[in-house]
Structure 1
Amino acid sequence: MTDPDALIEALRAEGLDPEFSARRIAEYSYDASNYRVRPVAVLFPRTEADVAAALAVCHRLGVPVTARGGGTSMSGNSIGPGVVVDLSRYMRAVIDVDEVARTVTAEAGVVLTELRAAVHRATDRRLTFAPDPSSQTRACLGGAIGNDACGNHSVRYGRTADHVVELRLVTVDGVRLTASRNGIRATEPGDATAVARAEHLAAELRGLASDYLADIRTELGRIPRQVSGYHLRHLLPEEGFDVARALVGSEGTCGVVTAATVALVEESSQTRLIVAGYADIVDAARDVPLLLRHRPSAVEGVDEVIVETMRLRRGADAVADLPAGRAWLFIELDGTDSEAADLESALRADGHVVDLRQVHDPTERADLWRVREDGAGLSSQLTDPSTGKTVSTWPGWEDAAVRPDLLADYLAEFRELLDRHGLTGVMYGHFGAGCMHIRIDFDLRTEHGRTVFRAFCTDAAHLVVRYEGSLSGEHGDGRARSELLPIMYSPRMLSAFDRFAAIWDPKGLLAPGGLRETRPIDADLALADVAPHPAQACIGIGRCRTHAGGVMCPSYRATGDEKDSTRGRARVLQELVRGGVAADWNAPMVTESLDLCLACRACSSDCPTGVDMAAMKSEALHRRYDGRIRPRVHYTIGMLPTWLRITPYLAAPLNRLAATRFGVAGARLAGLADGRVLPEFASAAQLRAQLRRVPSSVGSSKPAEVVLFLDSFTRGLRPEVAGAAARVLGGVHSSVTCDTDHCCGLTQITTGRLDAARKTLRRTARHLDSQGDGTSPIVVVEPSCAATLRDELPRLLTGDAVGADEADRARRVAARVRSVAAHFGELAAGDRAPEWPAGAPETVVVQTHCHEYATFGNRVQRGTLTALGVRNVVEATGCCGVAGDFGFTAGHEEVSDAVAEQALAPALRRHPDAPVLTDGFSCATQIRRLAVTDSTAGGDAGADRRGLHLLQLLDPDPLDARDGARRGRNREPM
């Protein structure tokens, strides 16, 4: 390969902007597979012409090129040496939706769900693009074409190849062509070079099909999910010389697809979901032939390990009630009620089902499908419910397919094979298509483990071939399986594959390491001889790259840059820790990667593998600033609880000063962002006045029924909420004790002052452990503080440096901690919740704090409000953009504003009259700022529109609450 400097210079000469920083290379050295390959540079083309120019340069210099979309390949197809061309950042346009022809034309970088949404808008939801792989919220059209992706409904709609009409592609040397259902042509008819190339390719491909006619007819197209190898059968005369479909599944080795025209199907207006429970996964597979006779649109399965992991990670209510069993099939039908009843009767009479139920509620159905769609992530970090320990599993043999009628026997033998090699596999997948996704607890770190990995995969390949199956059913062969193709195909068929690829790319420069220039399956393994680290929980499935649903990852949604995704940050940290004790935590790539992380903690809940980037950022800051001077904001916002012990005695002059130009200048010197609305400090008199309302039962010799924890933010900045807390809790509990002197250490944690945080948490844990009767709920007013005491307290007070008694105390206290919404939700379940005040609004806009969302569940606010009697709960699902100190830190203004526009600001504009529930103080400050700076967000209240705490909405003395909420109404942005 040519000198990297010469490559960069040549690309720049073509007007391209290659990126080659250490951070960018780290981000693109991985995908969702087991492999790591460092590129020389990464390109983000904006047009097909950019792609052509880049390929022409690389071809001239002999540099390999790998095209990439969402980077979710489990077989290593999204990584490679040389140049990685990321089409997902800019080339994501939907060009045309033709409702009459039932086609859509789009660029290769468009995300599948965004493509489908565009089709829905253009056809009033009448038509859709059928392939729906589990990664559809971040996987791109080009990747689906490259791997011949399928999805949950493939039993009805088949593979991507079944829907491709035309492909626009750029050849290895930069020629622009269009492959169609009956040949290949120049994309631009006036391009003489392209015309000649199309004619040459057509002749070569026809010759290949003729020379290998019998081999292609006998070895290819034997089962619905035969994805392994090249799809040469489409070149046969009976297929009409379909070059477009022949290129599907070629894994980027023949050309770079830049756009495609794909067929659309009519969307079912009504579906029914039946969930069937089985004693085990093999019994479930035995019912597949029976189910297929009823023509379902989907037959998907999961086992109990995935379900239990979901419940442990996201709460017991994260998975809807399932019928009895230890494995389940999700069976979707487009038929009538009577047809669904017929299927249920057949299962009970002739099947192996233990129990079944039909699921009607849309939310419940969505939850169940999410369990299946998150299977790859959930099964990668399994939690043993008996020990709480995590077991890591890996792909490598997660994509084999057999005929559906042979699936049960294949799985039975496969389990025996696992046992022989001392391995455990977690099974889920497309039962109706005979395609199983099995993640296995390979030890890829040690030489012995890698020896077992190679031996097992070789034996598994022989097993699946004996069952007339395919090594790959939709993920492609790539680095994970290409070396094993000689087990599946004859020498002549392999020769045909080689000739097909060489016709397109004689030098093997495109996507080397998989189908071309094949690497051993145990080469380039990312974990080889690398010590474990929490960052390695990220396996690259990329849910953090979604633009809708959940909260993760707000900064990526704002910028669209891989560096600002949870995955991108994890990959940088994975590169860093490869250096062991020599890792440079002060390296620029770490600073750049973590700068725009809001530490919102949504990833700890939304990420199927449970990656907690906030915790890793805290650790990184701790290591980086150990013994060094910190950023100014670490001493201001980062030490806010300390300052809030002083401010009550200086509140009046401080508030007056903050409103002047001297206060604004001081804020700038303190490292605070431009245009932020500073909160007003509460006086000691205000706090005393509110705390006088604490029930008189406090201080009695009898242990309190509930412990009220008043955090630093509530005491120093929202004392009216403290009063509301005392009144509301005093109204539903016989006795309340109130703690006003302790802190959770949140700001110390977020700024990486972990030693100080541990000291703070030790003091707080000792105090809280002595309060109440040892089981009394500890209700924390500020949800971020509640989340800190619930999650960070036991996490930080553990390990060799912490005594067993102290660790036990931390776990005891953490188990008692509740956010206000979580506590009232529990009370409502026992018919003890306070009543929704008479005359209170029926519509409430809710901005759930990200930490509460991550720790107490994504439905805690909605569930509680519904139980309390609120008729219309409008959720602004997403981060507010402030997230602790992030929104107040200089340099973050643009991203903070963009994050607010993702959900919160639009919700405020749509509901100008509704009260806004913001239990989180940071969320309340953002609402205050939006109301002041954007009249459309202020609604009828204008600049006085504020976020209210749930306790204020429930307060039996609303006048007092309103008076408190008026404090500082004239405060303007800095």
Structure 2
Amino acid sequence: MRFDRGSLALYANDASNFRQVPIGVVIPKTLDDVVAAHRVCSSFQAPVLSRGGGTSLSGETVNYAVVLDHSKYLTGIGEVDVAAKTVLCENGVINEDLNRETGKHGLVFGPDPSSHSRCTIGGNVGNNSCGIHSVQAQLYGPGPRTSDNVEALEVVTYDGERFWVGVGEEQHLGEIIAAGGRKGEIYAKLRDLRDRYADRIRNGFPSVTEVPRRVSGYNLDELLPEKGFNVARALVGTEGTCVTVLRAELKLTPAMLHRTTVVVGYDELPHAADETGEIVEKWRPIGLEVLDRQLIDDQQELAINTGDLDQLPHRDGQAWLLVQFGADTPGDSERQARKFVDWLIHRKRYGQDRVLISRSVEEGGSSEHLWTIRESGLGATAFTRGRDHWPGWEDSAVPPSRTGDYVRALRGLMDSHGLNGAMYGHLAQGCIHSRIDFDLRTREGVLAYRRFMEDAADLVTSYGGSLSGEHGDGQQRAELLDKQYGAELVQAMREFKLIWDPGARMNPGKVVDAYRLDENLKLGPGYNPPRPETAFAYQKDGGDFAHATLRCVGVGKCRVPHAEQTMCPSFQVTREEKHTTRGRARLLFEMLQGEVITDGWQSREVADALDLCLACKGCTNDCPVNVDMPTYKAEFRHHHYRSWRRWRSRHAYAFGFIDQAARLAVRVPELVNAVTQTPGLARLAKLAAGIDRKRPLPEFAPMTLQEWFTRRGGTKNPHGRPVVLFPDTFNNHLHTDVGVACVEAIEAAGWRVIMPEGHLCCGRPLYDYGFLTAAERYLRRVLDGLREYVREDIPVVGMEPSCLAVFKDELPKMLPHDDDARRLVKNAYHFAEFFTAFDVPPPRVTGRALLWGHCHHRATGGLDPEQHLLERAGLEVEKLTGGCCGLAGSWGFESGKYDISLGCGEQALLPAVRNADEDTLIVANGFSCKTQIADAGTGRTALHTGQVLAGRGGPKPAPPLRRRIARTVLPVTAAALAGAAGLRALRR
């Protein structure tokens, strides 16, 4: 039970336009906890809101209530009944996790929204979700909506009564009522309600065949005698306003996991919409979605899914249909797809240039990548064309036969209101998504937003459609339900709610008796947060840090609990909202708002949430709106510690200025290593530097890379084409053998290696601890050292991915108007990127390799060049993706972080290394990645790409030990090094 300011701030927002600060937050560990929480709230008459992934777009998952977050612990999945095609699960189970389990038996839960990788079954039930494959569920299973796929629900009422409700209970209705109790009382009132409104319900509720995506309002038609008095299905889509669902028995659909996608290009979207009915009827695909030109242009502007966008046929078209065929046996889906293509070409007379066939992974293809274009829609359309785009009318649905005309009319309505937004979505079932550039910051803008919403509601109802096609009503569209159903049926819905919740304390103000669509706005005419001076430029946000904190749109991709992507490593271990990119961004937003979090840059709540941010940069690549949490973290810490009253922790000085400590250590590396590798002394050194006692300390190299390079006489190719090899702190002072190998690998191709002299450091660790004033000095020193080279367009190659990433990422944010900085950005290359960009031939290497990419490498170039280079060299490469090694520079060294650090590594990297064959090379360029592999007891040593190309590592130079000892003060310990670095920082 959490009533702290940080928790209130975290749960004040979802993915909608609305913001409501809750009373408190409860994270139940068991279903009994959920029941107990309801009873406590009931005794105090406190409102209750149940929440899963918090990705709702209509405001139904924020409220002035006690929020119950079911997603962390309530994730149990029961046995799959293959014969009955059903499964029982708890409400916090993630949609995709459920389908992974049922998929083992050739069955899936049909509704799978684009947020399927993180949304919960409880959320599916609450919203009556549909999803990309709801057409599969309609054609081959029970039906398109979650309500069609529910067999029974275990529920708890506001006052804590717990019981099961089912479907087809009409014939047992008398027995249930006679049994009495709370359930009998409710069923009796539901029967009376049904009987009073039966004729009106029959006339006012279109069938699922007429409007497959009718999810607005309550499903009162499920109570009709001819339907069977399906109480469970009537409760689906009530958005937590009647009961809280504990468990669900779900109906399953044949999985059809062998899939082939046909992409068809059209000159206009309405033309594509006109043909969907015939395609569905004749060819029975399992998925049929549309993309419009604006969505494609938006993704190209943001440079996301670029490789997938290049595959689209009819490149000058205005719309594309993604038509997916599925089968349970290999080859069948592709045969269906090819027959469909033949039909398009010969019957419809489409040219081959308008059609693309792409197979699924199971059949040696990658059609799933094409679907990422569609699933990226919501985030990709949020901040483009210099405008902010918002939900509101993102979910309307009409009879599929009328979709083409509706799309034309909707586009005309948007034009008449001066609004713009991409269109995409579920054409097979008449549902259109659009994120629109509403002005939600001015009084006139909000009034215009209301006028459009009212006109759009009139438009969709004139087509016999539904205000919502899967996102629900919440607060966004509930006020307009009279237009769809009329006042009498809305009154019936009100009575339905009060039967379950007489005091109207379950998620009040949503669906019925709702808040207005223009109140509780996150922005609104009064939005005017402070605009503090910042160290970074925030060019994508117009230099506005407040807009940067607003960038998160709440889709929750950072909540994916498995290592399918890099972000968010700490969430993958803790499953806590505050350890997501979304949670941290929302806390920073609230910090500027100043209502819940009132102490600004000094906020302890924000500091705590950022403490477990690994600054892995995963969000800069994986987040659909490119929330840049490492930059926000550095900015916050910069301001947080500027007050004289705040001191950074010991490890901040020890690691932030590791380059300075390394400069001292390499004068007597043997002595320092003796201290750091001797148990008793090592423990004291760790204590002094704030290092976790479980973490082994790295050893310093006996000679720096720069010294080795000088002692051997410089470059071996004096007449070759020049290239600068940047001597980063890690490979200069700790892993010199890596640096030697990189020099030799480049020289083997005939290039002349330039090794900058003197002390140069990119300052990578400084950002993690907010030493941004010092970081800027480090960057200017680097520019001084490299200026003559970058002005001649000589490539600068980085061996350590995190250091090279500073040049690609932090440098232009810190010095946006420095021409030499821009030149360095242009000429900076990761090691393998240099080989591929300049077509440098690698030496021949044979064998197999497991390739792991440093997180900063993935975010600033990706691993494709690395894989390409190693394959050119002759290796068979398996590229391992997802998660983070968990060390993340110095983060995993910090006291108290060791267990979480290893937990991050166990998500993907460490198990893969342990399972790799002994003769498989482990390739990892990052210092932290290699260190984690060594520290975690895998028994393997990771190699840098340069070491692989140079024959598994270069020579380790021997130092002139006596001369070093003679010229250096002997009693130097690791604690003194850390202290010296700290004192230097303080003086600065």
Q: By the TM > 0.5 criterion, same fold?
A: yes
The equivalent of 1:801 in structure 2 is none
From 53, 57, 73, give the equivalent of 1:90.
Answer: 73
Asked if 2 retains the 8 angstrom alpha-carbon contact of 1:116 and 1:128, the reply is yes
Bigger CA drift: 277-286 or 576-585? 576-585
Structure 1: gaps (5+ residues):
1-17, 385-389, 799-803, 932-936, 939-944, 965-972
From 456, 459, 468, give the equivalent of 2:455.
Answer: 459
From 886, 892, 906, give the equivalent of 1:887.
Answer: 892
Question: 1:139 offset after TM fit, Å?
Answer: 0.5
Tell me the secondary structure at the aligned position of residue 878 of structure 1: coil
Whole-angstrom distance in 2 between the partners of 1:179 and 1:194:
14
1:449 correspondence with 2:455 = no
Query: How many percent identity over aligned positions?
Result: 37
Q: What pairs up with 1:239-278 in 2 under 5 angstroms? A: 239-278=227-266
The equivalent of 2:671 in structure 1 is 653
The equivalent of 1:602 in structure 2 is 618
Tell me the secondary structure at the aligned position of residue 416 of structure 1: helix
Question: 1:698 offset after TM fit, Å?
Answer: 6.7
The equivalent of 2:925 in structure 1 is 919
Which amino acid is 1:26 matched to?
A: A
**What's the CA shift string for 1:634-660, capped at 9, x where partnerless?**
110111122223322121211111122
Question: 1:429 offset after TM fit, Å?
Answer: 1.0
The equivalent of 2:965 in structure 1 is none
Q: What pairs up with 1:280-679 in 2 under 5 angstroms? A: 280-293=268-281, 294-311=283-300, 312-314=302-304, 316-317=306-307, 319=309, 321-323=311-313, 324=315, 325-334=317-326, 337-348=334-345, 349-350=347-348, 355-360=354-359, 362=361, 364-382=366-384, 384=385, 391-528=387-524, 529-531=527-529, 532-548=546-562, 549-579=564-594, 584-628=600-644, 629-660=647-678, 661-679=680-698
1:225 correspondence with 2:213 = yes
Asked if 1 retains the 8 angstrom alpha-carbon contact of 2:111 and 2:130, the reply is yes
Question: 1:810 offset after TM fit, Å?
Answer: 2.1
Which amino acid is 2:690 matched to?
A: G
Which amino acid is 1:714 matched to?
A: N
The equivalent of 2:539 in structure 1 is none
Asked if 2 retains the 8 angstrom alpha-carbon contact of 1:533 and 1:577, the reply is no
Asked if 1 retains the 8 angstrom alpha-carbon contact of 2:290 and 2:321, the reply is yes
Whole-angstrom distance in 2 between the partners of 1:583 and 1:797:
29
1:727 correspondence with 2:744 = yes
Question: 1:718 offset after TM fit, Å?
Answer: 1.1
Asked if 2 retains the 8 angstrom alpha-carbon contact of 1:748 and 1:757, the reply is yes
Distance verdict in 2 for CA 1:868–1:691, change over 3 Å: farther
1:51 correspondence with 2:34 = yes
**What's the CA shift string for 1:230-269, capped at 9, x where partnerless?**
1111111111111111111111111000000001111115
Question: 1:770 offset after TM fit, Å?
Answer: 2.5
**What's the CA shift string for 1:137-191, capped at 9, x where partnerless?**
11000110111101111122111111100000001211112110123999xx9x9
Question: 1:205 offset after TM fit, Å?
Answer: 1.3
Which amino acid is 1:159 matched to?
A: R
Tell me the secondary structure at the aligned position of residue 646 of structure 1: helix
Which amino acid is 1:904 matched to?
A: L
The equivalent of 1:5 in structure 2 is none
**What's the CA shift string for 1:915-955, capped at 9, x where partnerless?**
32120011111112123xxxxx21xxxxxx32211000001
Whole-angstrom distance in 1 between the partners of 2:712 and 2:743:
6
The equivalent of 1:199 in structure 2 is 184
1:153 correspondence with 2:168 = no
Distance verdict in 2 for CA 1:766–1:468, change over 3 Å: farther
Tell me the secondary structure at the aligned position of residue 948 of structure 1: coil
Whole-angstrom distance in 2 between the partners of 1:514 and 1:680:
60
Asked if 1 retains the 8 angstrom alpha-carbon contact of 2:902 and 2:936, the reply is no
1:747 correspondence with 2:765 = yes
Question: 1:95 offset after TM fit, Å?
Answer: 2.3
Which amino acid is 1:601 matched to?
A: K
Asked if 2 retains the 8 angstrom alpha-carbon contact of 1:402 and 1:470, the reply is yes
From 907, 912, 924, give the equivalent of 1:907.
Answer: 912
From 118, 136, 139, give the equivalent of 2:119.
Answer: 139
Distance verdict in 2 for CA 1:306–1:901, change over 3 Å: same
The equivalent of 2:969 in structure 1 is none
Which amino acid is 2:37 matched to?
A: A
From 706, 709, 730, give the equivalent of 1:713.
Answer: 730
Tell me the secondary structure at the aligned position of residue 245 of structure 1: helix
Question: 1:446 offset after TM fit, Å?
Answer: 2.2
Whole-angstrom distance in 2 between the partners of 1:705 and 1:405:
65
Tell me the secondary structure at the aligned position of residue 223 of structure 1: coil
Normalised by the length of structure 2, the TM-score is: 0.88
The equivalent of 1:833 in structure 2 is 841
**What's the CA shift string for 1:393-419, capped at 9, x where partnerless?**
111111101122222221222222222
Which amino acid is 2:33 matched to?
A: D
Question: 1:24 offset after TM fit, Å?
Answer: 0.6
Tell me the secondary structure at the aligned position of residue 794 of structure 1: helix
Whole-angstrom distance in 2 between the partners of 1:557 and 1:720:
34
Asked if 2 retains the 8 angstrom alpha-carbon contact of 1:694 and 1:723, the reply is no
Distance verdict in 2 for CA 1:35–1:520, change over 3 Å: same
Question: 1:769 offset after TM fit, Å?
Answer: 4.2
Whole-angstrom distance in 2 between the partners of 1:282 and 1:705:
56
Tell me the secondary structure at the aligned position of residue 916 of structure 1: strand
Asked if 2 retains the 8 angstrom alpha-carbon contact of 1:471 and 1:481, the reply is yes
**What's the CA shift string for 1:42-67, capped at 9, x where partnerless?**
11122222222221222232211010
Whole-angstrom distance in 2 between the partners of 1:696 and 1:45:
64
Whole-angstrom distance in 2 between the partners of 1:356 and 1:536:
39
Normalised by the length of structure 1, the TM-score is: 0.89
Q: What pairs up with 1:116-127 in 2 under 5 angstroms? A: 116-121=99-104, 123=105, 126-127=106-107
Tell me the secondary structure at the aligned position of residue 837 of structure 2: helix
**What's the CA shift string for 1:79-136, capped at 9, x where partnerless?**
1112011111111101232122211000001111111122234x2xx11211111111
Asked if 1 retains the 8 angstrom alpha-carbon contact of 2:13 and 2:20, the reply is yes
Question: 1:620 offset after TM fit, Å?
Answer: 0.6
Q: Root-mean-square deviation (CA), in Å?
A: 2.7
Whole-angstrom distance in 2 between the partners of 1:213 and 1:877:
53
The equivalent of 2:754 in structure 1 is 737
Asked if 1 retains the 8 angstrom alpha-carbon contact of 2:790 and 2:820, the reply is no
Bigger CA drift: 192-201 or 910-919? 192-201
Asked if 1 retains the 8 angstrom alpha-carbon contact of 2:383 and 2:389, the reply is yes
Asked if 2 retains the 8 angstrom alpha-carbon contact of 1:693 and 1:726, the reply is no
Q: What pairs up with 1:737-776 in 2 under 5 angstroms? A: 737-740=754-757, 741-771=759-789, 774-776=792-794
Distance verdict in 2 for CA 1:689–1:474, change over 3 Å: same
Which amino acid is 2:668 matched to?
A: L
Distance verdict in 2 for CA 1:666–1:858, change over 3 Å: same
The equivalent of 1:968 in structure 2 is none
The equivalent of 1:39 in structure 2 is 22
Distance verdict in 2 for CA 1:957–1:595, change over 3 Å: closer
Asked if 1 retains the 8 angstrom alpha-carbon contact of 2:305 and 2:372, the reply is no
> What number of residue pairs does the alignment pair up?
912
From 159, 163, 166, give the equivalent of 2:152.
Answer: 166
Which amino acid is 1:770 matched to?
A: E
**What's the CA shift string for 1:631-690, capped at 9, x where partnerless?**
111110111122223322121211111122223202212111111121111234665235
Tell me the secondary structure at the aligned position of residue 636 of structure 1: helix
Asked if 1 retains the 8 angstrom alpha-carbon contact of 2:947 and 2:954, the reply is no
Asked if 2 retains the 8 angstrom alpha-carbon contact of 1:693 and 1:727, the reply is no
Whole-angstrom distance in 1 between the partners of 2:452 and 2:248:
38
Asked if 1 retains the 8 angstrom alpha-carbon contact of 2:177 and 2:185, the reply is no
